Amino acid sequence: MVKIGVLALQGAIREHVGAIEAVGADAIIVKRVEQLEELDGLVLPGGESTTMRRLIDRYGMMEALREFAAVGKPMFGTCAGLILLAREVIDQATPHIGVMNVVVERNSFGRQVDSFEMALSLKNIGENFPAVFIRAPHIVAAGPNVEVLAEHEGRIVLAREGPFLGCSFHPELTDDTRIMAYFVKMVRQSVLTTLAKP
Ligand SMILES: NC(=O)CC[C@H](N)C(=O)O
């Protein structure tokens, strides 16, 4: 079974663990930097990106997270997790992990409607996905290797670039595990590719 970590510094952790187990992978709650080594893939949950960044720095995890990405291990960022992955965050001088070739804007669906749910059509994944947006970011611009998997009101809300999957909304807050199943498939493929290397 592939081992998928959930970065457990802050945010929606338990829900992701449930989704990972529901689609047949091992879920590991990651609180220490050494735990990253044993993983095949990592989920960066939603929450508050500035708080998460502060905790990543406090626990000395930034370098190890960038290394995780550099060796091509898959990472799935939801909401604040997408902000952590992006190579540029609007109105912010430097990115966080900064490995996915997208520009994101935070809190981009209006102040009055803080949260909403809607059915989205997801390329390669399926129709009618119940997407829960909570003070969600969106992808303003995407590099040439980024595959757009879903848009809402002309804004990119789900995209993949190689081993990186980023999502504006919170798939873990519903019972629909199709996006997690898609991510676990990415992780399985990455493990097979690594094993096949001489
Ligand atoms: N639900 C979320 O993860 C919200 C993200 C939050 N607005 C941020 O900027 O980090």
Amino acid 175: pLDDT: 95
Q: Give the confidence band of 179 by pLDDT, cuts at 50, 70, 90.
A: very high
Q: Which of 15, 16, 79, 138 is catalytic?
A: 79
> What mean pLDDT do residues 76-80 have?
98
Range of the domain at 160: 3-196
Tell me the sheet residues that pair with 187.
none
Give the count of domains, the chain. 1
Are the C-beta atoms of residues 182 and 163 closer than 8 Å to each other? no
Q: What is this model's ipTM?
A: 0.95
pLDDT > 60? residue 170: yes
Query: What distance in Å separates the CA atoms of residue 83 and residue 66, rounded to the nearest whole number?
Result: 14
Contacts of residue 89, defined as CB under 8 A and 6 or more positions apart, other chains included, come to 49, 83, 95, 96, 103, 104, 105, 106
Q: Give the confidence band of 114 by pLDDT, cuts at 50, 70, 90.
A: confident
* CATH code of residue 69: 3.40.50.880
Is 104 strand, coil or helix?
A: strand
Amino acid 112: pLDDT: 55
Q: What is the DSSP string of 109-148?
A: T-SS--EEEEEEEETTTEEEEEEEEES--EEEEE-TTPEE
State yes or no: is 172 an active-site residue: yes
Q: Which amino acid is at 179?
A: I
What is the pTM (predicted TM-score) of this model?
0.96
pLDDT > 70? residue 111: no
pLDDT in tens, 9-64: 998 899 999 999 999 999 999 999 999 999 999 999 999 999 999 999 999 999 99
> What does the mean pLDDT of the chain come to?
96
- Which atom number of ligand 1 is nearest to the Cα of residue 11? 3
**Residue whose CA is closest, atom 1 of ligand 1?**
134
State yes or no: is 79 an active-site residue: yes
162 phi and psi, to 5 degrees? 55, -120
Amino acid 194: pLDDT: 86
